[in-house]
């Protein structure tokens, strides 16, 4: 029987040291397309760009692994979400939702009033998550994705600073905390997932 390691998750502002991990995560998470994002430019020169990194921290032996990345551009009072990606070996644990929630909170501290994004109509899991955070479809970009010509749905939130939206964020965060407390991740899985 494999022993369980003590672990925690941490979301930080992305640094230049996180770039190789972020590139690998996006390539693995988005198999249908290569995002070709210039993270170095985004972090050092794009004043609109804000990126977060998700790490898992194991206590025995002490090891930190980057397993997720999210980012947005703050354009006026709009947080335009550029990416939310979790390493495929860590998906379906609610970690993408943690990234989205932290991104929304991060954007609000910088005075964002709404959040927008594009999503493939075929990405039903992503759409369900965004709907949970009250994103709604406001438009469509035809043949947006160059790999297969798929359209992009344009989604936006209601005003982020209303009491109703803030209550929803609080409720979702509490549910995530409860779900996260039940996670049991085997230390050995880190090595077998590549």
Active site residue 130: yes
* Contact residues for 144 (Cβ-Cβ < 8 A; gap 6+): 118, 150, 151, 152
> How big is the CA angle at 93 (ends 88 and 96), to the nearest 5 degrees?
70
Candidates 77, 78, 105, 118; catalytic one: 118
Report the DSSP pairing between strands 136-141 and 114-119.
unpaired
Active site residue 30: no
Residue entry with tokens 């590549």 = 194
Q: Which two three-digit tokens encode residue 119?
A: 């999503």
Candidates 130, 133, 150, 165; catalytic one: 130
H-helix or E-strand containing 42?
helix 39-44
The residues carrying an active-site annotation are: 118, 130
């Amino acid at each position: 029987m494999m022993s369980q390691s003590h672990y925690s998750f941490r979301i930080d502002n992305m640094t230049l040291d996180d770039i190789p991990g972020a590139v690998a995560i996006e390539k693995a998470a988005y198999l249908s397309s290569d995002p070709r994002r210039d993270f170095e430019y985004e972090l050092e020169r794009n004043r609109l760009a804000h990126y977060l990194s998700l790490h898992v921290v194991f206590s025995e032996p002490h090891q930190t692994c980057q397993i997720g990345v999210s980012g947005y551009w703050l354009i006026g009072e709009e947080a335009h979400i550029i990416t939310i990606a979790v390493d495929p070996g860590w998906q379906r644990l609610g970690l993408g939702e943690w990234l989205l929630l932290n991104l929304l909170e991060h954007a609000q501290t910088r005075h964002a009033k709404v959040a927008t994004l594009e999503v493939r109509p075929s990405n039903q899991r992503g759409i369900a998550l965004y709907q949970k955070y009250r994103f709604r479809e406001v438009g469509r970009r035809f043949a947006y994705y160059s790999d297969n010509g798929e359209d992009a749905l344009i989604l936006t939130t209601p005003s982020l600073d209303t009491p109703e939206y803030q209550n929803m964020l609080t409720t979702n965060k509490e549910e995530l905390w409860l779900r996260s407390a039940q996670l049991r991740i085997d230390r050995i899985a880190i090595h077998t997932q590549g």
